[in-house]
Amino acid sequence: MSQTDATSPADGSSADGSTPAVPAVPAVPSADDARRIALAQAWVAQDPDPETRVELDDLVARVQGGDADASADLADRFDQRLAFGTAGLRGEIAAGPNRMNRVLVSQAAAGLGAFLLERAPGTTPSVVIGYDGRRNSAVFARDSAEVLAGAGIRAILLPRLLPTPVLAFAVRHLDVSAGIMVTASHNPPNDNGYKVYLGGPDHGSQIVSPSDAEIAAHISGVAATLLVTDLPRGEFETADESLVDAYVQATAHEAGYAPPAQPKVVYTAMHGVGWETASRVLTAAGFDAPALVEAQIEPDAAFPTVSFPNPEEPGAMDLSFARAREVGAELIVANDPDADRLAIAIPDAGAADGYRRLTGNEVGLLLGWRAARKAAEETGDGASDGSLACSIVSSPGLEAIAQAYDLDFEATLTGFKWISRAPNLLFGFEEALGYLVNPGTVRDKDGISAAVAFLSLAADLHATGRTVADHLDEFVERFGCHDSGQISLRVTDLSRIGAIMARLRAEPPSEIGGITVERIEDLSDGFGALAPSDVLRIFLEGGSRVMVRPSGTEPKLKVYLDVVAHEGTVAERRAAASDTLARLEAGMRELTA
């Protein structure tokens, strides 16, 4: 009898008539997959995080089993490295060199340490490290502190999760060599990031070229020659609470004096770390406690009530609007999750929710006007000294304010790493809800000090029976209607952004929306005092302007539209500006389709 069981049919099928499964032949990984698998296994061997070790082991097993999606995922993680640039690091939390994780962060800390030691030989550099409430922020901060201390650097960890502006303040207040903030600001929940500030001659601003490239080179050297498990770790210090107290007092001082009258205010922290610090600042400045959006007031890394934790995104402020209707608020104040940005909303009978969020340009222009008036008042003779600054994609209205008050004006590349470096700075902003109102203490955008400044402005208006909406009309009457808009083209294929930029350069438009183009400035090779940047600046007849650039932090092409109208009443100026803006938007959507 053969080895076949006597009860089995002669055709080899099983007793129930089914055909037994043929054992799967193990897939043979391609040469590229085999190379990546080896890299992944080496990565796992030095990864101190059990979660990402298991994640990567599982991914490797799927690749070995022939899973094409897993192969593509592994390639994305290991065929490139998360770039360290002027925004530091930012990306999704996961295993591999093209993700945010404990291996990458430890390598970054070691590279920064090597840069600081090389920059000041024979000294003991110092670094202060802060972190917000995002997933792994505290772990990444502690890893950084230990690795820096192990390299012989004085490492100081902030006492608990705190807003980014507190870390920026700490760099100057403690007079350290550098600062690290672990945050991804308003990115999606599973992202995290790593901002670096420099002290000394950089005065606590974020890194710019060539420091970013020098740090990146040191990080690459660490990754190529050392295992994270071999990096020495040391003891770090924990900052005293007096540091936070100093920030609170310095920021409260921005109000200048006790508010004479106060509008009813609603506040949201957008599930971030802003409220604990902001509440102390508002109390110290003499403001009443605002009504809170309770569901968003405590830090929560999952950001459960918003699809995207950015006050600019549709729906992000819906709970704030609901709370404002409930209490009859005259003003809504929102910080983003790490509290370096500020959003303001005011009552609007024409809005579906009864409120509308002001644009970043509207808030920036009102705060810039306040800063200019304040500077003039302090001199006593109406003259003033200093500069106002904004990024090149922000409203040209700030330049009009500077001219009216005989102040210098600086237009910088995008990012507060550039705005904060404007000489004799009084105030700086960018349209993405970032405002620098106290350059003497913080050289970065600060959503808490900006909130104090705006609440102070609103209180002054309230005391004379005026509203923020009234003040916006007063601005239009004095400086013209500076209206702005933005198109964000989100892509899944990054090559599409490059293709659109290349097409606009090769075939520059002669008109947009029927409005004649007067000139185009290509900043790719630099322009004037501006460093090279992938930006097109298009000037049109009548004073309008269009800026086109890839986003520095997200897979988006961003188009910024700015128009101005000086003729007629306030209502007529608004209507004319709105019409021009609509024409430009339609035209640019065609050009970027």
**Measured between alpha carbons, how far is residue 238 from residues 168, 242, 505 in Å?**
16, 12, 52
pLDDT of amino acid 418: 95
pLDDT of amino acid 15: 47
Q: Report residue 149: phi and psi, to 5°.
A: -60, -40
Is residue 333 within 8 Å of residue 270, measured between CB atoms? no
The three-state secondary structure class of 465 is coil
Burial of 578 by CB count in 10 Å (0-12 exposed, 13-18 middle, 19+ buried)?
middle
pLDDT at 123 over 60: yes
User: Does residue 13 have an active-site annotation?
Assistant: no
pLDDT at 542 over 80: yes
Structure tokens at 513: 């929306």
pLDDT of amino acid 117: 97
User: Rounded mean pLDDT of the chain?
Assistant: 93
Q: Angle formed by the axes of helices 397-404 and 468-479, to 10°?
A: 70
β-bridge pairing 342-347 and 331-335: antiparallel
What pTM was estimated for this model as a whole?
0.92
185, 420, 533, 544: the active-site residue: 185
Q: Secondary structure of 332-366 in the HEC alphabet?
A: EEEECCCCCCEEEEEECCCCCCCEEECCHHHHHHH
Structure tokens at 443: 């050289």
Q: What is the mean pLDDT of residues 269-287?
A: 98
Q: Give the list of residues 6+ apart from residue 543 with CB closer than 8 angstroms, or none.
A: 396, 563, 564
Matching residue, tokens 């001219």 = 403
Q: What's the one-letter identity of residue 358?
A: L
Q: What is the mean pLDDT of residues 362-374?
A: 97
> By mean pLDDT, which of 23-37, 100-114, 209-223, 458-472 is the weakest?
23-37
pLDDT digits (tens, 9 = 90+) for 487-538: 999 888 989 999 999 999 999 999 999 999 999 999 998 888 888 999 999 9
pLDDT of amino acid 16: 53
Domains of the chain: 35-79 (no CATH), 83-239 (3.40.120.10), 242-479 (3.40.120.10), 480-591 (3.30.310.50)
pLDDT digits (tens, 9 = 90+) for 394-443: 999 999 999 999 999 999 998 999 999 999 999 999 999 999 999 999 99
CA dist 495 and 256 (Å) reads 50
Q: Which parts of 464-494 fold into alpha helices (H)?
A: 468-479
CA dist 375 and 381 (Å) reads 10
Is residue 280 within 8 Å of residue 286, measured between CB atoms? no
Band of pLDDT at residue 18, cut at 50, 70 and 90: low
pLDDT of amino acid 171: 98
pLDDT of amino acid 307: 92
Q: Report residue 219: phi and psi, to 5°.
A: -60, -45
Range with the largest mean pLDDT of 1-5, 26-30, 548-552: 548-552
N-terminal to C-terminal alpha carbon distance within the chain: 74
